[in-house]
Amino acid sequence: MKLNLETMKAFLIKNKTYVIIAAVFIAMVFVLMTINQGDSSTDAKQADSDEVITVDETTPDTATEDTTVATNDLQVDAYPAVNELVNKYFTAMSTSDIDTLLQIVNPLSDEEQTQIQQKKEYIEGYDNITCYTKIGPEENSYVVFVYYEIKFININTLVPGEIPLYICSNEDGSLYIYNDELTPEVDSYIADIAAGQDIVELIGSVDTKFTEAQAADPDLKAFIDKLSGTADQAAADQAAADQAAADQAAADQAAADQATADQAAADQAAADQAAADQAAADQATTEDGYEAVDETVYASETVNVRDSSSEDGSKLGQIYVGESTKRTGVGSNGWSRIEFNGETGYVMTEYLTTEGVTQEIKYLSSTVNLRAEADENSDKVATAYEGTKVTRSAKLDNGWSRISFDGVTGYVKSEYLADTYK
């Protein structure tokens, strides 16, 4: 019988779930191992751990060093310090005592720590621990095949298992469980031990006991099947989570790309609009040389409105000081185009301002009638008495002014307005 070398290597080094975390069913690993059992004995009986195989149980206290080194027989519970470390390890595993494990297992990753804590949910403890030990390849090192039996919560039958540990010594002589990559020399040494007849038979016997335990306890069998399915589901869930993360990353990238494209489109639209506005502004300059505008302006003094941009143009009327009008164009010839009584008129630009003209405070020097228009024949809208304070908003060139007081607006002759009243 010969144990597949690469399988053992993976078991010892790469599958740390079994080596350090003491996976839920480490014994299940052996079901998957490539073991040629054609030559194995069919007379194997269920027995205690030290009865699984015939070994030399001579301890280092009674055996000579030369004999131990020469034969390196498998020793059963022969090294008290090793047994103490292994028992401390399994006690810490059963209670998820990470602090203790960090002291005796080197190294112990964050992922492994998380797995240990998860095992506490269904592992009650470990019993019947037995250490099958061989001298290791380095000074004061040991290759230990630990037999144990797991007690699962709410399962009566103990489940047999076996885990190989590589135990090394610190500088102070204390022992620890080595959990890192092995050198090629150490790897080869341990692989040779694992291929030995004694180890193959040990593993085979544990596998047999594991199978028998399931056959004897349907609850255990159902629990193992469920736990195995849970592991498969966990792997599927992780794969789904990884895919979801990849999908989200792709979606985020697509969104970022879309945002970049949208911004580029917005920038281009803004540039196009600016160009269109400029073109419209250029187009707005009409054939008669006026730049199109749309704004309210005020007369800075009473000014004539003409039908063309010339002092020779026909007079359409006047706009008075402070009176507002709509300007539609500004010419380079010094004239502005305005809207006047439903027509297009022209006024010299120098007499227009975009700011409201400051209104004047005046006083009536005589009692007068307030007219609706700047004409003595116009309707009277009110009587204004001597000394009344009024606001003049326009001074007409025909000798009249537009005034307001007490909410009434009308026209009086300018000669009746004074700057002060005594």
pLDDT band at 343 (very low <50, low <70, confident <90, very high): very high
Task: Please check the confidence at residue 207 and state whether its pLDDT lies above 70.
Answer: yes
Give me the mean pLDDT over the 68-82 stretch: 85
Residue 284 confidence (pLDDT): 56
> Average model confidence (pLDDT) for the chain?
81
396-414 pLDDT, tens digit each: 778 888 899 998 999 999 9
Q: Name the residue type at position 366.
A: S
What are the phi and psi torsion angles at 353 (to 5°)? -140, 150
For the segment 305-324, the average pLDDT, to the nearest whole number, is 88
Peptide bond into 107 cis (omega under 30): yes
Band the pLDDT of 173: cuts 50, 70, 90: very high
**pLDDT band per the 50, 70, 90 thresholds, residue 237:** confident
Q: Which two tokens stand for residue 173?
A: 């002589």
Rounded CA separation 98/196 (Å):
34
pTM score, whole prediction: 0.44
pLDDT, residue 5, reads 37
Higher pLDDT, 381 or 55: 381
In this predicted structure, the answer to whether residue 230 has a pLDDT above a threshold of 70 is no
Tell me: pLDDT of 157 over 60. Answer: yes
Q: How many other C-beta atoms are found inside a 10 Å radius of the C-beta of residue 327?
A: 19
| Amino acid identity at 360 | E
Check pLDDT > 70 for residue 55. Answer: no
| pLDDT number for residue 234 | 65
Phi, psi of 161 (to 5 degrees): -155, 170
Order of strands across the sheet that contains 360-364: 380-384, 368-371, 408-413, 400-405, 389-395, 360-364, 417-418
Which of left, alpha, beta for 40 (phi over 0: left; psi -120 to 50: alpha)? beta
